[in-house]
Amino acid sequence: MTSLFGQPDPAAPPPRPGPGSRFASVVLHRGIEHTPAKSPAPPAARPSHRSAPPSSTSPGAPDAAFTYFIPAGMPEPLPGQLVRVPLGKANTPTSGIVLQVGDAALLGDLPPAKAKPILELTPARINPDLLALAQWLATYYVCPLGMVLQTMLPAAVKKQIGRKRILRYTPLPPSPTTAPAEAALTKPLRAALARLRALPESDFPAEPAALRRLAAISSPSVKRLHAAGLLTESADDTVSARAGAFGEEASTPPPDANAAPAPPAPRLTPTPDQARALASLVPALGSFSAHLLRGITGSGKTEVYLRLIEHLLAARPSATAIVLVPEIALTPQTSRRFLDRFGSGSVAVLHSGLTQAQRNAQWTACAKGQVRVVVGARSAVFAPVPTLGLVIVDEEHDSSYKQDQLPRYHARDVAVKRAHLANCPVLLGSATPSLESWANTRPHSPSTPRARYHLHELTTRAGNARLPEVRIVDLLDERRARAQQPGGWRDRHLHLLGPTLEKAIARTLADRGQVMLLLNRRGYANYISCPDPNCGWVMHCNHCDATVVYHKAAGVDRSGVPIPGGFVRCHHCLAELLLPTACPTCARRPNTFGLGTQRVEEELQRKFLPDFGITIGQTLLRLDADTMTTGADYFHALDRFAKGEVRILLGTQMIAKGLDFPNVALVGVINADTALSLPDFRAAERTFQLVCQVAGRAGRADRPGLVIVQTASPTAEPIVLAAAHDYTTFANNELACRAAVGLPPIGRMARIVCRDRDLDRATAHAADLAHALTEARDALPDPQSVRIRGPMPCPISRIDDHHRQAIELLSSSRGTLQGLLAGLRAQGLLLSDTHTAIDVDPIALL
């Protein structure tokens, strides 16, 4: 018999479909769809036997699957199975996913003789739930189905990295058919066979190692007996290298993974808030419903997740819960809580530090139903668990849930759909829910009076912790206060820390407390310009319509003095240049202005080295994308902060997420205005979330916390309300503002960005698209229901030498908007390709 996953014999004549042949429609994994009207694909790239599209969600769309026949002797593939098929004139083997299996009717108009055979079946398979989810995703996000399926199967799974084949053997009983072979055996082999047959039947099938142990038979002897036809062989594919917590079994384990296991934490008694939330969540297990858990920072949301999962597993021991967390929150701290509660054998932690083999092993364990809890970032929403019982999305407002490349999905929204398809509840949790989720807890309109999500609230911190006091300080007042200090007018240093924050840091350090400081800007200075106001030169990236950021050379010398020099980097295309020594127009020496974490780092050392021994890299750590290049860096840093070696943690929004350190007595926001001024309708929401979240890091235990927020807009509503910990007022006001102008989440938005190296081509392409969209809109029964804005240049009109033009579509009805886009897509007028990005529910508008 040919083996299940065997390769076809290359010398054999190409198989042909016979009268009873079975067929399969297969969606190919192709990165980018071809635009039939504009750039016809070369013939070689197209299967010659394209047939009627399968029951895909948008007939005629470029998702059309191709039909292949199943050669005689090959087992029938299952829907969702990964197969290899020939593509084009050259019959290039290409991978794809089986959508449907059936008879010749799948071929449509194509004569059966023209169909090509499936080349190979692989053990990787997307389960039926996920196949349905993929079809929903392709329709919702207007993107190619092949692309979505590609995303669902990690590369490690497609390539079967780490897969091992285990062979097992069983002896055949003596019979007339085995007699000739037995007679031909050497004496020792005949004795070996006899020893095997004497073993109890329950020992078989057995691996060679077991046979050596049980009957003293060497592997070569086993091979020879098998070759003589006296042992049958069975193969089993397994994937080794499972990893539990972050870094376990990984090549570079972060410190925490090697630490001795902590003693089991005492079981907490739920707070009244937690008990109330659980009382209403537990009965929801068992069927679909959507829930939002709004719990202030430190209110113990994780404990609610853990207990809800316990209830799930008590009722259905074979069910699985998926828990999504932002990638950066996948710290040992978070993972440990799940591992400790459910045991490392039942928990899969999917994080970016896994090796390919570990990733495949985790995926396979999920698919086999061996895992009870999956904890992972965005893509874990596609974890192939067969018996999904609960989906949890922690920090559901986090923007890292949105993928910014094809397919541009939002894992929170996909999570809701996945739960719906699996008929289980979904729980979204946050201290500062996205307005999208908040809006879903409100009655929608007179026609849909019931809220779509159930709301549960945790309004007090767990244990003895209190919400910290938040003090807003006006940067203008701070500057005046500084000037009035003795010698203040002579002080030529740049101060990003005002006197209030400075004093608070000194007091906290003196009290042995720890400090966290947030500044959402990397580098040293984000503005390089000519000092001569008459010249006005400002350094821009050569490839982007954006200013560049000055980064000082990394590190300090032995005496703690920063190493001189540095470079200039564009944060959009990552191009790097040297810092110019002279203005290109008037030759004066340029100034470096503006904010950056590196500059704060220098200022902290300058101010706190003498009294508190604060030194860069020792007692002061900077956490941003420049210093934290791997997951292990991040864990090392947090570990040192947890141990108290580091006294001040300075960072970008990386430090605002989910960290729980009891000794943090002071949190400082260096400048709350960085997000406020962005040209994005979510600027206020982002600012509110950031200030609230980072403030939430203070006062998480018995020690009272203080938060100081420096701003030039001390009366701005998001800042004032975040300082008052008043989410509800903020959210309701902001929702009313959005509703008044039809912006999300009240209105639905889709954004199309056209990009081209040639400005005229980008503009013409965008104009054509806008024209087609307008025509399609005008043909709707209610053309007023969709607004089209643009084409217009994007706020960053050029990135990496590509000019960018945007078209925004807004509608009060998501269905109408999607119908419009799907219609154009079906006609081939709107396709995702290198020049066109379609973003449904966009969250970044730059």
Residues that bind ligand ADP (CB under 6 A): 268-271, 274, 295, 297-303, 462-463, 660
CA distance 543 to 73: 57
Q: Which is nearer to ligand ADP, 80 or 295 (CB)?
A: 295
Reference 290, options 450, 400, 128, 130; nearest CA is: 450
Q: Which of 121, 583, 638, 667 binds Zn ion (CB under 5 A)?
A: 583
Q: Which of 114, 452, 572, 725 binds Zn ion (CB under 5 A)?
A: 572
Q: Which is nearer to ligand ADP, 211 or 428 (CB)?
A: 428
Helix axes 475-484, 499-510, angle to 10 degrees: 80
Smallest distance from ligand ADP to CB 457, Å: 12
Binder of residue 303, out of ligand ADP, Zn ion, none (CB less than 5 to 8 A by kind):
ligand ADP
CA distance 778 to 786: 9
Q: Which is nearer to Zn ion, 15 or 580 (CB)?
A: 580
Q: Which residues pair with 292 in a beta bridge?
A: 428, 455
Smallest distance from Zn ion to CB 574, Å: 7
CA distance 786 to 815: 11
Reference 173, options 233, 231, 234; nearest CA is: 231
Q: Which of 216, 279, 563, 586 binds Zn ion (CB under 5 A)?
A: 586
Reference 230, options 305, 157, 170; nearest CA is: 170
Q: Which is nearer to Zn ion, 45 or 573 (CB)?
A: 573
**Contact criterion met (CB below 8 Å) for 790 and 808:** yes
Q: Which is nearer to ligand ADP, 659 or 675 (CB)?
A: 659
Q: Which of 32, 78, 228, 573 binds Zn ion (CB under 5 A)?
A: 573
Smallest distance from ligand ADP to CB 631, Å: 20
Smallest distance from ligand ADP to CB 686, Å: 19
Please identify, among the stretches 320-328, 419-427, 526-534, 720-728, the one whose residues bind Zn ion according to the rule CB under 5 A. Answer: 526-534
Q: Which is nearer to ligand ADP, 176 or 272 (CB)?
A: 272
Please list every residue from 533 through 552 that binds Zn ion, using CB under 5 A: 535, 537, 541, 543-544
Smallest distance from ligand ADP to CB 458, Å: 7
Binder of residue 593, out of ligand ADP, Zn ion, none (CB less than 5 to 8 A by kind):
none
Please list every residue from 136 through 195 that binds Zn ion, using CB under 5 A: none
In angstroms, the Cα distances linking 521 to 396, 595, 673, 686, 717 are: 23, 7, 11, 14, 22
Residue 667 backbone dihedrals phi, psi, to 5 degrees:
-120, 130
Q: Output the DSSP codes for 655-679.
A: GGSS---TTEEEEEES-TTTTTTSS
Q: Which is nearer to Zn ion, 540 or 636 (CB)?
A: 540
CA distance 418 to 632: 31
Binder of residue 535, out of ligand ADP, Zn ion, none (CB less than 5 to 8 A by kind):
Zn ion
Binder of residue 573, out of Zn ion, ligand ADP, none (CB less than 5 to 8 A by kind):
Zn ion
Reference 469, options 727, 720, 708; nearest CA is: 708
Binder of residue 302, out of Zn ion, ligand ADP, none (CB less than 5 to 8 A by kind):
ligand ADP
Q: Which is nearer to Zn ion, 350 or 525 (CB)?
A: 525
Q: Which of 505, 530, 670, 723 binds Zn ion (CB under 5 A)?
A: 530
Q: Which residues pair with 680 in a beta bridge?
A: none
**Contact criterion met (CB below 8 Å) for 433 and 457:** no
**Contact criterion met (CB below 8 Å) for 129 and 418:** yes
Instruction: Give Rg (Cα) of the chain.
Output: 31
Q: Which residues contact 247 (CB under 8 A, 6 or more apart)?
A: 253, 254, 256, 257, 353, 631, 632, 635
Only one residue has tokens 């309004």, namely: 459
Q: Which is nearer to Zn ion, 544 or 709 (CB)?
A: 544
Binder of residue 660, out of Zn ion, ligand ADP, none (CB less than 5 to 8 A by kind):
ligand ADP
Q: Which is nearer to ligand ADP, 448 or 464 (CB)?
A: 464
**Contact criterion met (CB below 8 Å) for 805 and 759:** no
**Contact criterion met (CB below 8 Å) for 302 and 394:** yes
Q: Which is nearer to ligand ADP, 336 or 599 (CB)?
A: 336
Smallest distance from Zn ion to CB 569, Å: 9
CA distance 655 to 662: 15
Q: Which is nearer to ligand ADP, 303 or 398 (CB)?
A: 303
Please identify, among the stretches 132-140, 192-200, 575-583, 816-824, the one whose residues bind Zn ion according to the rule CB under 5 A. Answer: 575-583
CA distance 341 to 304: 12
568 interacts with Zn ion by CB under 5 A: no
Closest-by-Cβ residue to ligand ADP is 300
Provide the total of helices (H) and of strands (E) in the chain, helices listed first.
23, 29
Q: Which is nearer to ligand ADP, 462 or 517 (CB)?
A: 462
User: Quick one: tokens of 543?
Assistant: 């490839």
CA distance 266 to 173: 58
Q: Which amino acid would we find at residue 299?
A: S
Only one residue has tokens 């290409």, namely: 94
Smallest distance from Zn ion to CB 318, Å: 52
User: Quick one: tokens of 435?
Assistant: 């307005």
Smallest distance from ligand ADP to CB 67, Å: 50
Q: Residue 72, Cα to own-chain centre: how many angstroms?
A: 42
Region of residue 512 (phi > 0: left; psi between -120 and 50: alpha; otherwise: beta): left
Smallest distance from ligand ADP to CB 813, Å: 35
Smallest distance from ligand ADP to CB 23, Å: 52
CA distance 273 to 459: 7
Binder of residue 541, out of Zn ion, ligand ADP, none (CB less than 5 to 8 A by kind):
Zn ion
**Contact criterion met (CB below 8 Å) for 215 and 208:** no
Binder of residue 463, out of Zn ion, ligand ADP, none (CB less than 5 to 8 A by kind):
ligand ADP
Smallest distance from ligand ADP to CB 233, Å: 52
Smallest distance from ligand ADP to CB 347, Å: 17
Smallest distance from ligand ADP to CB 635, Å: 17
CA distance 644 to 491: 33
Smallest distance from Zn ion to CB 586, Å: 3
**Contact criterion met (CB below 8 Å) for 665 and 704:** yes
Q: Which is nearer to ligand ADP, 3 or 269 (CB)?
A: 269
Q: Strand 290-295's sheet: what is its strand order?
A: 347-350, 373-376, 320-324, 388-393, 426-430, 290-295, 453-458
Which 3 state secondary structure label does DSSP give 113? helix
Q: Which is nearer to Zn ion, 530 or 806 (CB)?
A: 530
Q: Which is nearer to ligand ADP, 338 or 382 (CB)?
A: 338
Binder of residue 537, out of Zn ion, ligand ADP, none (CB less than 5 to 8 A by kind):
Zn ion
CA distance 160 to 5: 12
Binder of residue 586, out of ligand ADP, Zn ion, none (CB less than 5 to 8 A by kind):
Zn ion
CA distance 77 to 126: 12
Smallest distance from ligand ADP to CB 51, Å: 52
Smallest distance from ligand ADP to CB 265, Å: 7
Smallest distance from ligand ADP to CB 692, Å: 11
Binder of residue 543, out of Zn ion, ligand ADP, none (CB less than 5 to 8 A by kind):
Zn ion
Q: Which is nearer to ligand ADP, 302 or 652 (CB)?
A: 302
Q: Which residues bind Zn ion (CB under 5 A)?
A: 530, 532, 535, 537, 541, 543-544, 570, 572-573, 575, 583, 585-586
